[in-house]
């Protein structure tokens, strides 16, 4: 199997904690061909969609520690046609680049893409999470999405809660997430000016969400593969930050999924699979869905350390099964067409 990871540059990888590196490492261990490229390195030559790739050299003996593997890996640069890969594994950080998806549209029928392009288009921002809620469901906190500052101020005033969460629609890794309090209403309008209005006169959508009690104790990151949970961890905020993201200074602790969290995964899993979102990270607080991460969900290395497991093995097993089915279908069609032609 040949797999291309569409992600951030090799030089920006955190060799101790990077989920993408753990997946790459597992592929190299299994003797698969591995290359990585960034969205900026996609190109078209003679009507063929290609990429300037960083190719990971095959290794006779692959070091077990990620840090050692990263240090010893031999890489080379080469332009390669994307349709020549069996898999394109999306690991690019948000925000989503729509032009990147336009490039990939030309190869989506030739290559298994994880996650699907249509799924990424629908779920790349936090509107996807907001769409899970309905009048018969209570799986997400009360959520408002708007760029109307007057409306947002009104919702804050009318809320029965003393605190709410404000965050940009396209943020990731906890960036831009702030806690607002009614006792500081005099600052709300200036905060909304900063978040909503750009210097060029354009405006941004923001999310205003009810504060869930217990959020100060952290959230739960759950990884789902093919709609089923394969790992979970509790993320605990640092002493001087309300955000629990590890990238924002949070720490990781063991977590056994609650009855409510299992029910939540069971409820949203079928829709994720239907949308082609096979590898997803969800953030949960108090049994409620806060975010769905579909582009580059992380947490594998932390969960592996806490639980002494190898979650990346399950992910690569799944990809191998998808490629096998695709190749079998291709072989079958080829045989049947030849039978017709020879008749």
Q: What is the pLDDT of residues 263-305, one digit of tens each?
A: 999 999 999 999 999 999 999 999 999 889 999 999 999 999 9
Which comes out higher in pLDDT, residue 137 or 103? Answer: 103
**Residue 242 above 60 pLDDT?**
no
Q: What pLDDT, on a 0 to 100 scale, did the predictor assign at position 289? A: 93
**Measured distance CA(130)–CA(132) in Å, rounded:** 5
Over the Cα atoms of the chain, what is R_g?
A: 22
**Residue 124 above 90 pLDDT?**
no
Of 68-72, 113-117, 153-157, which range is least confident?
153-157
Q: What pLDDT, on a 0 to 100 scale, did the predictor assign at position 300? A: 97
Q: What pLDDT, on a 0 to 100 scale, did the predictor assign at position 240? A: 55
Hey, which residues does 232 pair with through a beta bridge? 222
104-109 long-range contacts (CB < 8 A, ≥24 apart) are 104/6, 104/42, 104/49, 106/49, 107/49, 107/82, 107/83
Hey, which residues does 9 pair with through a beta bridge? none
**Measured distance CA(330)–CA(323) in Å, rounded:** 11
Choices 3.40.50.20, 3.40.30.10, 3.30.450.20, 3.40.50.410: CATH for 2-114+315-324: 3.40.50.20
Q: Are 176 and 185 in contact (CB under 8 A)?
A: no
Of 105-119, 131-145, 220-234, which range is least confident?
131-145
DSSP line for 135-153: TT--SS--EEEES-HHHHH
The one-character DSSP state at 296 is S
Q: Are 42 and 106 in contact (CB under 8 A)?
A: no
Which pLDDT band holds residue 126 (cuts at 50, 70, 90)? confident
Q: What pLDDT, on a 0 to 100 scale, did the predictor assign at position 173? A: 64
Percent of the chain at pLDDT > 70 equals: 94
Which pLDDT band holds residue 330 (cuts at 50, 70, 90)? confident
Residue located via tokens 């809660």: 161
Three-state DSSP state, 282? strand
Mean pLDDT computed over every residue of the chain: 91
Which pLDDT band holds residue 247 (cuts at 50, 70, 90)? low
Q: What is the pLDDT of residues 129-151, one digit of tens each?
A: 877 766 555 788 888 999 999 99
Q: What pLDDT, on a 0 to 100 scale, did the predictor assign at position 333? A: 86
Topology alike, domains 2-114+315-324 and 216-309: no
Q: What pLDDT, on a 0 to 100 scale, did the predictor assign at position 249? A: 56
Which comes out higher in pLDDT, residue 83 or 217? Answer: 83
**Residue 69 above 70 pLDDT?**
yes
**Residue 171 above 90 pLDDT?**
no
The b-or-e profile of 309-331 (16+ CB within 10 A means b, else e) is eebbebbbebbbebbeeeeeeee
Q: What pLDDT, on a 0 to 100 scale, did the predictor assign at position 200? A: 86
Q: Give the side-chain half-sphere CA count within 13 A for 128.
A: 21
**Measured distance CA(147)–CA(149) in Å, rounded:** 6
Q: Are 156 and 182 in contact (CB under 8 A)?
A: yes
Peptide bond into 115 cis (omega under 30): yes
Highest mean pLDDT among 130-134, 192-196, 244-248, 257-261: 257-261
> What are the extents of the domains in the chain?
2-114+315-324, 142-210, 216-309
**Residue 84 above 80 pLDDT?**
yes
C-alpha distances in Å from residue 341, one per residue of 66, 149, 188, 335, 337: 51, 66, 71, 10, 6
**Residue 167 above 80 pLDDT?**
yes
Which pLDDT band holds residue 246 (cuts at 50, 70, 90)? low
Any residues with CB less than 8 A from the CB of 157 and at least 6 apart, and which? 182, 185
Q: What is the pLDDT of residues 51-61, one digit of tens each?
A: 999 999 999 99
CATH number of 216-309: 3.30.470.20
Specify the fold of 142-210: Dna Ligase; domain 1 (3.30.1490)
Q: Are 238 and 248 in contact (CB under 8 A)?
A: yes
Query: Do β-strands 2-6 and 87-90 pair in parallel, antiparallel, or remain unpaired?
Result: parallel
Which residue stretches of the chain are H helix?
19-29, 66-72, 98-105, 117-123, 127-130, 149-158, 188-196, 259-274, 300-307, 311-342
Q: What is the pLDDT of residues 192-211, one digit of tens each?
A: 999 998 888 889 999 999 89
């Amino acid at each position: 199997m040949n797999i291309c990871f569409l992600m951030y540059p090799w030089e920006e990888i955190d060799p101790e904690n990077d989920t993408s590196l753990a997946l790459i490492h597992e592929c190299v261990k299994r003797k698969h061909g591995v290359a990585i490229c960034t969205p900026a390195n996609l190109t078209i030559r003679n009507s063929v969609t290609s990429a300037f790739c960083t190719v990971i050299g095959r290794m006779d003996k692959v070091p077990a520690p990620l840090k050692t593997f990263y240090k010893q890996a031999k890489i080379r640069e080469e332009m390669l046609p994307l349709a020549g890969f069996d898999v394109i594994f999306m690991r690019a950080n948000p925000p989503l680049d729509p032009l990147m998806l336009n490039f990939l549209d030309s190869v989506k029928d030739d290559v298994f893409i994880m996650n699907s392009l249509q799924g990424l288009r629908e779920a790349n921002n936090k509107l996807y999470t907001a769409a899970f809620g309905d009048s018969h469901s209570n799986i997400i906190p009360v959520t408002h999405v708007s760029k109307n500052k007057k409306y947002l101020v009104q919702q804050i005033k009318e809320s029965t809660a003393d605190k709410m969460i404000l965050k940009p629609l396209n943020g990731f890794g906890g960036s831009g997430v702030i806690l607002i309090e009614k006792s500081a209403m005099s600052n709300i309008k200036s905060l909304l000016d900063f978040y909503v209005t750009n210097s060029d006169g354009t405006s941004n959508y923001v999310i205003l969400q009810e504060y869930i009690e217990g959020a100060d104790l952290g959230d739960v990151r759950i990884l789902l593969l093919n709609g089923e949970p394969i790992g979970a961890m509790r993320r605990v905020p640092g002493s001087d930050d309300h955000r629990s993201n590890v990238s924002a200074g949070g720490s990781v602790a063991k977590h056994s999924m609650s009855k409510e969290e299992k029910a939540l995964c069971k409820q949203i899993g079928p829709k994720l699979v239907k949308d082609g979102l096979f590898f997803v990270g969800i953030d949960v607080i108090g049994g409620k869905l806060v975010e769905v991460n579909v582009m580059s969900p992380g947490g594998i290395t932390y969960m592996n350390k806490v639980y002494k497991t190898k979650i990346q093995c399950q992910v690569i097993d799944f990809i191998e099964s998808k490629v096998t089915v695709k190749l079998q279908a291709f072989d079958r069609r080829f045989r049947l067409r030849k039978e017709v032609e020879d008749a």
